Amino acid sequence: MNWTYIIVVVAYLAAMAAVAFRGHRRSASEEEFLTASRSIGPWIGGATLAATQISAGTFVGTLGQHYWTGVGFIWAWFGMWGGWFLCAAFVAPKLQESGALTIPDYIGRRYNSVIARVISALLIVFAYTILLSAQYQAAGEVFRATFGLSPIFPMLLILVSTVLYTLVGGVRTGSYIDMLQTLAMILGLAVGVPLLIYEAGGLQTAGQFLAQLDSRLVGSYYTPGQLVAFGLAFGLSISTSPYELARFYSMRDAKTARYAVGVSIFFQFLIGSAIMILGLMMRVIFPHLTSPDQASAVMAFEVLPPLAGALFLVAIFSAVMSTCSSILIVAGSGLAHDVYGNWLAPKLGWRHDNRFLVLLNRVAVVAVGLLPLYLALHKFEIVQFIVLEAAKFIASMFFAAVVFGLNWRGATAQGAIGGMLSGFLVTWIWSKPFGWNSSLPPFLAQIDSAEVGVVVSSLVFFAVSRMTAVRKQYEYASKG
Amino acid sequence: MSGFGWSFYGFFIAAAAFLVTFSLWAYWMNEKR
């Protein structure tokens, strides 16, 4: 392995440690640990939202997608940003103002139900264990493909450093490091883009070559409708998923939350367009790779000079770590704050003062970080597929309870519980790797599990809410 | 063969327009009260 890589990676880890050290304050309360005492501004907040969303999937999967299908896929970002706009309009400000600490905390308070709180916390831990294992696996794959190293090394590197800074500084340190990581991603891409355009013989020559290779590469491979629908579905599920939503709690006020979404879209635009150009230029330089997912690794280690390649590698690390850190906080706090602190401890009379709960949040971060390592080492599925599966579960379980719950007064606890559980069950049944998709009749099996999940959970949510609300009125009337 | 066309250059124009519109909307929402 070239020394440049090692020096750049060590410098990056040192920069992270410096940021963690400077930003560190003693987290004496859960409010500080989980929400940075609600002090984050729009720029750091926006960088956090973007860094959490941009994951290994973007640097490997999306780059490969552009390599394979050309320019057109870039338009899917508009669907994604449409999802973010809806989040800024209907979800983020209200959630920021709710004063909760975690998503299950919001659900528990909104519906005044401990059961809804505990169920949502457990579902979050389930879905995010899967998502975390995909992130570890992606990092391991990049290393195995390029250095021939066993994937356990990069997995452990990411696991140990991410768990460490997350457990030491909580959301405050995590947010500052997200900013650093967003800048690292932009730097890696900013160095790579001009070098690759140069290698490909300039933008115009590259465009002409691609047009000759296949005219769809410079036009559109997918129809506009397909792209926007895909982007919107993904955008809605990501912008309403707990690991993004929890970040709004750390922002100063509702105004900051709105601006932060705008800042995040700006960062996504920079990263997304750079990824597109890299994918296109790779197609010009190596038109016949066996798998599009190889494009980013081949670029980093065969096309770019060592320093630029190392910066790109750090950008991938940043993408993985920032996503992992947000997941660790959300899943860990679900166990420590919601399952233990607000259910088990008061019920059984165990200790649950603020100091102890902060400690428990830290322990939970370690536990939740270690759990998926086993899954990642056993490699059940390809990375992009696992990420999608987890996203489908999350959308099906939480969309109705959170989004409609924020905007509809008639929602009840029973409706929320019914919505979450039916979303989970239906997605499980429909899921190809986990469930019984192959035993369903073909016309049902071909519908996407997230679509079925969101629709069924929303229907159950509304129906049960109406029924229970009516019954309450009736009880009230009969008492009166 | 002319190379990149509307779907490439158009994206940057449309994205800039989206960002400006979003910013104006957010500003309007935040300052209206």
- Whether residues A258 and B2 touch (CB distance < 8 A) is answered with no
For an interface test with B, which of A214, A221, A239, A259 has the most B Cβ atoms less than 10 Å from its Cβ? A259
Chain A nearest-CA residue for B31: A255
- Selection from A374, A371, A157, A196 nearest residue A285 by Cα: A196
> What confidence tens digit (pLDDT) does each residue in A17-28 have?
998 887 777 767
pLDDT at A145 over 50: yes
> What confidence tens digit (pLDDT) does each residue in A320-354 have?
899 999 999 999 999 999 999 999 999 999 988 88
A210 CB within 8 Å of a chain B CB: yes
pLDDT at A480 over 80: no
pLDDT of residue A473: 63
A27 vs A193, more confident:
A193
Integer-rounded Cα Rg, in Å, for chain A is: 23
Q: How many CB atoms lie within 10 A of CB B18?
A: 17
A218 CB within 8 Å of a chain B CB: yes
Tokens of A107: 């659900």
CA of A206 vs chain B CAs: smallest distance (Å)? 7
B28 CB within 8 Å of a chain A CB: no
> What confidence tens digit (pLDDT) does each residue in A2-17 have?
788 889 989 999 999 9
- Whether residues B26 and A258 touch (CB distance < 8 A) is answered with yes
CA–CA separation, A61 and A144 (whole Å): 16
The size of the A-B interface in CB pairs under 8 A is 69
A40 beta partners: A251
Q: Is B4 helix (H, G, I), strand (E, B) or coil?
A: coil
pLDDT of residue A301: 85
A251 neighbors A257 (Cβ within 8 angstroms):
yes
pLDDT at B1 over 60: no
Please list every residue in chain B whose beta carbon sits closer than 8 Å to the beta carbon of residue A219.
5, 7
Domains of chain A listed by start with CATH number: 2-380 (1.20.1730.10)
Lowest mean pLDDT among A157-161, A275-279, A463-467, B11-15: A157-161
Lowest mean pLDDT among A174-183, A262-271, A471-480: A471-480
Helix/strand/coil (H/E/C) assignment for every residue in chain A = CCHHHHHHHHHHHHHHHHHHHHHCCCCCCHHHHHHHHHCECHHHHHHHHHHHHCCHHHHHHHHHHHHHHCCHHHHHHHHHHHHHHHHHHHHHHHHHHCCCCCHHHHHHHHCCCHHHHHHHHHHHHHHHHHHHHHHHHHHHHHHHHHHCCCCHHHHHHHHHHHHHHHHHHHHHHHHHHHHHHHHHHHHHHHHHHHHHHHHCCCHHHHHHHHHHHCHHHCCCCCCHHHHHHHHHHHHHHHHCCHHHHHHHCCECCHHHHHHHHHHHHHHHHHHHHHHHHHHHHHHHHCCCCCCHHHHHHHHHHHHCCHHHHHHHHHHHHHHHHHHHHHHHHHHHHHHHHHHHHHHHHHHHCCCCCHHHHHHHHHHHHHHHHHHHHHHHHHCCCCHHHHHHHHHHHHHHHHHHHHHHHHHCCCCCHHHHHHHHHHHHHHHHHHCCCCCCHHHCCHHHHCCCHHHHHHHHHHHHHHHHHHHHHHHHHHHHHHHC
Chain B nearest-CA residue for A76: B11
B9 CB within 8 Å of a chain A CB: no
A206 CB within 8 Å of a chain B CB: yes
- Whether residues A71 and B4 touch (CB distance < 8 A) is answered with yes
Mean pLDDT, rounded, of chain A: 88
Please list every residue in chain B whose beta carbon sits closer than 8 Å to the beta carbon of residue A278.
none
CA of B18 vs chain A CAs: smallest distance (Å)? 8
> Which among A229-238, A398-407, B14-23 has the top mean pLDDT?
B14-23
Residues in chain B: 33
Q: For residues A313-325, b (16+ Cβ closer than 10 Å) or e, as one string?
A: bbbbbbbbbbbbb
DSSP 8-state assignment for residue B1:
-
pLDDT of residue A479: 53
Residues in Cβ contact with A194 at an 8 Å cutoff, skipping those fewer than 6 apart: none
A53 neighbors A265 (Cβ within 8 angstroms):
no
Percent of chain A with pLDDT over 90: 56
Tokens of A429: 């049944």
- CB burial of residue A443 (10 Å; 0-12, 13-18, 19+): exposed
Mean pLDDT computed over A346-366 = 91
pLDDT at A384 over 70: no
Of B1, B15, B26, the CB nearest to A211: B1
pLDDT at A474 over 50: yes
CA of A261 vs chain B CAs: smallest distance (Å)? 9
Sign, Cα dihedral of A116, A117, A118, A123: positive
Q: pLDDT class for B23, splitting at 50, 70, 90?
A: very high
- Whether residues A211 and B3 touch (CB distance < 8 A) is answered with yes
Tokens of A64: 């490969």
Please list every residue in chain B whose beta carbon sits closer than 8 Å to the beta carbon of residue A269.
15, 19
- Selection from A290, A313, A303, A7 nearest residue A147 by Cα: A313
> What confidence tens digit (pLDDT) does each residue in A170-183 have?
999 999 999 999 99
For an interface test with B, which of A43, A66, A85 has the most B Cβ atoms less than 10 Å from its Cβ? A85
Q: Assign residue A412 a region: left if phi > 0, alpha if psi is -120 to 50, beta otherwise?
A: beta
pLDDT at B33 over 70: no
pTM for this structure? Answer: 0.90
Tokens of A262: 């705008």
- CB burial of residue A308 (10 Å; 0-12, 13-18, 19+): buried
Q: Is B32 helix (H, G, I), strand (E, B) or coil?
A: coil
**Distances A158 to A136, A139, A175, A272, A286 between C-alpha atoms, Å:** 8, 8, 17, 23, 30
For an interface test with A, which of B6, B8, B19 has the most A Cβ atoms less than 10 Å from its Cβ? B8
ipTM value: 0.96
A271 neighbors A189 (Cβ within 8 angstroms):
yes
B17 CB within 8 Å of a chain A CB: no
A438 CB within 8 Å of a chain B CB: no
> What confidence tens digit (pLDDT) does each residue in A117-130 have?
999 999 999 888 88
A277 CB within 8 Å of a chain B CB: no
Of B8, B26, B29, the CB nearest to A71: B8
pLDDT at A478 over 80: no
Residue type at A159? L
Give the Cα-Cα-Cα angle A19, A22, A27 (nearest 5 degrees).
Answer: 105
> What confidence tens digit (pLDDT) does each residue in A49-59 have?
999 999 888 88
CA–CA separation, A101 and A358 (whole Å): 13
A280 vs A152, more confident:
A280
B23 CB within 8 Å of a chain A CB: yes
